[in-house]
């Protein structure tokens, strides 16, 4: 009966997000309130890839819980929403296009810096005798992607500036507004692809997961061990691990459970 209740509670209260799974500690306390528990940490390799589903759900990103991923995601959603919204007046359209041009100017600087760094990295790998062919190909693709992104941003800027010039003509009429409105609608798919490629360069791909588990010392009662947090990451500093285990330890002690120590695989 307890196993059924645990499975049902896990199904309801556990999430797939990289947040602290409080439900795991509640179930451990319910199963063994007088137990002694270890905090165990182990890392697992994952395939490095950044993906986005048709519903615009991101996967494969590093998430250290510092809010960087969420901030990048919000910026991406805001820009998509801003491009999808077509202004209904001449003044609003001028302000919208001006803001887009300013955003693209920032993108151009980002892509130009990324292109320079990618070229330097490629040359270093090319001049190294120990560089594998696959590594050299990846470095070359990085150069090509940044170059394509830079050219695409410059092309979009020209298109938006031409639209802005049309709107800013001395003699304004409805045909100019309708022409720009139609042009912005036609550019939606192009801009969506551009933003997807742009933010792919701003995202950080995780190459392994750090899994934090809480385990009963004697392992006499189920559940023997439950994961309470996982951290998709590339590299972790020792201080981050210490802060992470401290957070878990405090949460365990708040529930009146005894913490024996930490164990790293």
Rounded to whole angstroms, the Cα distance separating 40 from 21 reads 15
pLDDT value at 155 more than 80 = yes
pLDDT value at 231 more than 50 = yes
| Cross-strand partners of 163 | none
Tokens for 208, please give them: 């392994």
In degrees and rounded to multiples of 5, residue 236 shows phi and psi of -125, 135
The pLDDT of 149-173, averaged and rounded, is: 87
- pTM (2 decimals)? 0.81
What's the chain's average pLDDT?
85
Dump the DSSP string for 124-150: HHHH-TT--HHHHHHHHHHHHHHHHHH
Per-residue pLDDT band for 222 (boundaries 50, 70, 90) equals confident
């Amino acid at each position: 009966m307890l196993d059924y209740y645990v499975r049902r509670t896990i199904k309801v209260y556990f999430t797939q997000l990289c947040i602290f799974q409080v439900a795991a500690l509640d179930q451990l306390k319910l199963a063994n309130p007088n137990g002694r528990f270890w905090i165990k940490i182990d890392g697992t390799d994952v395939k490095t890839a950044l993906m986005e589903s048709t519903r615009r759900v991101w996967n494969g990103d590093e998430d250290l819980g510092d809010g960087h991923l969420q901030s990048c995601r919000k910026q991406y959603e805001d820009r998509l929403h801003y491009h999808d919204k077509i202004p209904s007046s001449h003044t609003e359209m001028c302000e919208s296009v001006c803001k887009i041009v300013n955003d693209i100017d920032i993108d151009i600087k980002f892509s130009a810096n990324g292109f320079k760094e990618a070229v330097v990295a490629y040359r270093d790998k090319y001049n190294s005798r120990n560089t594998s062919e696959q590594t050299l190909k990846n470095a070359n693709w990085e150069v090509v992607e940044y170059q394509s992104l830079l050219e695409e941003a410059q092309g979009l800027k020209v298109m938006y500036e031409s639209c802005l010039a049309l709107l800013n003509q001395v003699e304004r009429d409805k045909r100019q507004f309708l022409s720009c409105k139609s042009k912005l609608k036609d550019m939606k798919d192009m801009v969506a692809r551009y933003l997807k490629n742009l933010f792919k360069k701003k995202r950080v791909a995780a190459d392994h997961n750090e899994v934090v588990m809480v385990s009963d010392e004697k392992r006499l009662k189920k559940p023997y061990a439950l994961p309470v947090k996982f951290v998709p990451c590339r590299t972790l500093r020792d201080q981050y691990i210490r802060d992470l285990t401290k957070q878990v330890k405090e949460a365990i002690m708040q529930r009146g459970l005894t913490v024996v120590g930490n164990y790293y695989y």
